[in-house]
C-alpha cells in the first residue's frame, strides 16, 4: 500500500512501451497520455504503467529511435511494482489483449484495494467481422472483452456508435458481476504535431509528383477492411480512362495482405502516380494532410476514423464510405459514397472530382473535432466524474 494521500491516475501502456507500431490506437494512447501529463487532473498524479509479467509496474522515461521522449519498461531488476490505495484509477488506454487476460487476478486484487478499473473500447470489429482479422484475433479479443466487462467499473468508448454496439453485445452476453457495468463515450483528439512526432519530410521527387496532379490520400494499416485494394482497382480504371491522379497509401502491411503488398511494390505506376509509404514519419504525414487533394476513407468498418479528424484539422476534404461512425464524426463536412467494387468507387471518385471542379465538394474545415486535451477531459468526465452514456445488464454470479 502507498502511504501518500494523493490518488494516482494509472495509465496502462502495456503495448506502447514495448513497441510503438504508430497505429491508430497507439496514436490515441500517446495523445491521451501526453495531454494528461501536460495537465494532470486536479489532485491526481498521472503515472504511466505497464504489464511487467505477472504484475504491473511504473514505466520508465526513455527515448525512441528518433530521440523523442517516451515511456519504456524499466531495466531488468529495476522494476517498480505499483503501490496503490483506495481512490486510485487504472485506465487501460492501450489495447493490451493478452496482458489484461493474463493479469485478471492482479486486476481483481487492485479492485479489492479500492482501485477503480476502466478500459477504452475502440470497436467490436474482431467480434462482428472475424474474417477481417488474423486467425485467433476474434478469440483473443473476446477473452479480453469478457475479462474487462467482468472486472471493470466502466468501459469508455470512442464514439456513440461504438457504445451502442457494445451495449447491444453486452445485452446478448451479460457479464457476470454484482452491479451494472457503466458505458461511457470520449471522442478522440487529433494533433499529430503534438504527439511525439517522428521526423523525416519525404523524398523531394515524390513530393513534386504529388504536386503535379490531384492526390488521394489513404491512411491506415493495410488490412482487408481498409479496402486499399478496391481503391487501387478504382484508380487503375481511372488511369485507363485518362484521368491523371495520384493515390498515396500510408500504412504498414497487416495481416492477410501479402498479395496486395506485392501488387503495390511491383505496380507499373509505382513512384509515378502510386505511392505506398510503409513507414511514413509523422512529419511527412502532416505534409501529406496539408498538400493532398482529398482523404479517401474507404474502410468497410471502423470504430472511429481518426484520419477524418486529422484531415479536417488541416482543411483536407474527406471522401468517406457511408458508415454510421463516419457520419457521426464527419456530419455534413464530408462526402459519402457506397461502392461494391472498383468500378463503382471509380464512378464515385469521378463524381467527387466533378463537385470539386464546380466548387461544390463539402469542405472539412467545419468538422467538429477535439484536440487531445479535450479528449482527455471527456475521458476524465467518465472515470473521475462518473458521467456515463449508459449501463450494461448484469448476470449475478
> Distances from the Cα of 175 to the Cαs of 15, 68, 181, in angstroms?
25, 41, 8
The contacts of residue 205 (CB under 8 Å, 6+ apart) are none
Provide the number of structural domains found in the chain: 2
pLDDT at position 62 over 90? no
Q: Is the model's pTM score more than 0.85?
A: yes
Average pLDDT, the chain: 91
What's the average model confidence in pLDDT over 175-199?
Answer: 78
Q: Which of 64, 25, 21 is CA-nearest to residue 253? A: 21
Q: What is the pLDDT of residue 373?
A: 94
298: buried, middle or exposed (CB in 10 Å: 19+, 13-18, 0-12)? buried
- Residue 115 confidence (pLDDT): 97
Query: Could you give the strand order of the β-sheet that contains 318-321, starting from the edge strand earlier in sequence?
Result: 274-277, 246-250, 215-219, 294-297, 318-321, 335-337
Residue 124 shares a structural domain with residue 226: no
pLDDT tens, residue by residue, 271-289:
999 999 998 888 888 899 9
- CATH label of the domain that carries residue 326: 3.40.50.2000
Is the pLDDT at 376 greater than 90, yes or no? yes
Which has the closest alpha carbon to 46: 353, 292, 376, 342? 376
**What is the predicted pLDDT for the residue at 196?**
44
Q: What is the domain range of residue 33?
A: 8-189+372-392
What would the pLDDT profile of 315-359 be if each residue is shown by its tens digit? 999 999 999 999 999 999 999 999 999 999 999 999 999 999 999
Is residue 3 one of the residues assigned to a domain?
Answer: no
Confidence (pLDDT) at 256: 84
pLDDT of 36 higher than 90: yes
- Co-location of 215 and 315 in the same domain: yes
User: In Å, what is the CA distance from 304 to each residue of 18, 227, 290, 299, 300?
Assistant: 25, 16, 21, 11, 12
Q: What confidence score (pLDDT) does residue 20 get?
A: 74
Same domain? 338 vs 380: no
User: Do 185 and 205 fall within a single domain?
Assistant: no
CA dihedral 353→239→346→246, nearest 10 degrees, is: -60
3-state secondary structure of 173: coil
Quote the distance between the C-alpha of residue 244 and its chain's center.
Answer: 32
pLDDT tens-digit map of 95-135: 999 999 999 999 999 999 999 999 999 999 999 999 999 89
Range with the poorest average pLDDT among 217-221, 363-367, 368-372: 368-372
At residue 369, does pLDDT exceed 90? no
* C-alpha gyration radius of the chain: 22
Same domain, yes or no, for 73 and 107?
A: yes
pLDDT at 243: 96
Instruction: Of 191, 190, 162, 217, give the one whose Cα is nearest residue 328.
Output: 162
The CA-based angle 156-15-25, given to 5 degrees, is 45
Predicted pLDDT of residue 306: 87
224 and 306 belong to one structural domain: yes
Checking if the pLDDT of 396 tops 70, the result is no
Amino acid at each position: 500500500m502507498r502511504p501518500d494521500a494523493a490518488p494516482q491516475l494509472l495509465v496502462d501502456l502495456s503495448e506502447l512501451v514495448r513497441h510503438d507500431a504508430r497505429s491508430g490506437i497507439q496514436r490515441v494512447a500517446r495523445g491521451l497520455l501526453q495531454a494528461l501529463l501536460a495537465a494532470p487532473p486536479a489532485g491526481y498524479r498521472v503515472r504511466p504503467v505497464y504489464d511487467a509479467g505477472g504484475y504491473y509496474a511504473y514505466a520508465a522515461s526513455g527515448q525512441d529511435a528518433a530521440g523523442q521522449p517516451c515511456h519504456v519498461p524499466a531495466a531488468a531488476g529495476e522494476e517498480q511494482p505499483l503501490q496503490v490505495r483506495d481512490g486510485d484509477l487504472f485506465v487501460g488506454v492501450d489495447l493490451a489483449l493478452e496482458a489484461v487476460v493474463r493479469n485478471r487476478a492482479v486486476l481483481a486484487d487492485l479492485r479489492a484495494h479500492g482501485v477503480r478499473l476502466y478500459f477504452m473500447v475502440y470497436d467490436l470489429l474482431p467480434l462482428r467481422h472475424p474474417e477481417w482479422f488474423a486467425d485467433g484475433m476474434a478469440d483473443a479479443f473476446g477473452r479480453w472483452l469478457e475479462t474487462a466487462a467482468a472486472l471493470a467499473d466502466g468501459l469508455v468508448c470512442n464514439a456513440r456508435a461504438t457504445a451502442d454496439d457494445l451495449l447491444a453485445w453486452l445485452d446478448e452476453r451479460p457479464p457476470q458481476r454484482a452491479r451494472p457495468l457503466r458505458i461511457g463515450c470520449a471522442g478522440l483528439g487529433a494533433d499529430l504535431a503534438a504527439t511525439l512526432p517522428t521526423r523525416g519530410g519525404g523524398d523531394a521527387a515524390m513530393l513534386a509528383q504529388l504536386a503535379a496532379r490531384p492526390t488521394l490520400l489513404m491512411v491506415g494499416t493495410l488490412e482487408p477492411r481498409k479496402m486499399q485494394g478496391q481503391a487501387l482497382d478504382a484508380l487503375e480504371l481511372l488511369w485507363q480512362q485518362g484521368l491523371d491522379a495520384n493515390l498515396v497509401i500510408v500504412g504498414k502491411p497487416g495481416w492477410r495482405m501479402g498479395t496486395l503488398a506485392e501488387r503495390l511494390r511491383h505496380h507499373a505506376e509505382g513512384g509515378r502516380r502510386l505511392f505506398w509509404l510503409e513507414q511514413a514519419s509523422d512529419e511527412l504525414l502532416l505534409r501529406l494532410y496539408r498538400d493532398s487533394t482529398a482523404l479517401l476513407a474507404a474502410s468497410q468498418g471502423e470504430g472511429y476514423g481518426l484520419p477524418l479528424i486529422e484531415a479536417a484539422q488541416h482543411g483536407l476534404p474527406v471522401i468517406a464510405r457511408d458508415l454510421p461512425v463516419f457520419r457521426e464524426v464527419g456530419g455534413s463536412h464530408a462526402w459519402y459514397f457506397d461502392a461494391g467494387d472498383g468500378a463503382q468507387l471509380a464512378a464515385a471518385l469521378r463524381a467527387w472530382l466533378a463537385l470539386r471542379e464546380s466548387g461544390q465538394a463539402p469542405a472539412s474545415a467545419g468538422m467538429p473535432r477535439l484536440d487531445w486535451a479535450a479528449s482527455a477531459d471527456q475521458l476524465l468526465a467518465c472515470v473521475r466524474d462518473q458521467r456515463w452514456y449508459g449501463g450494461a445488464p448484469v448476470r449475478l454470479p
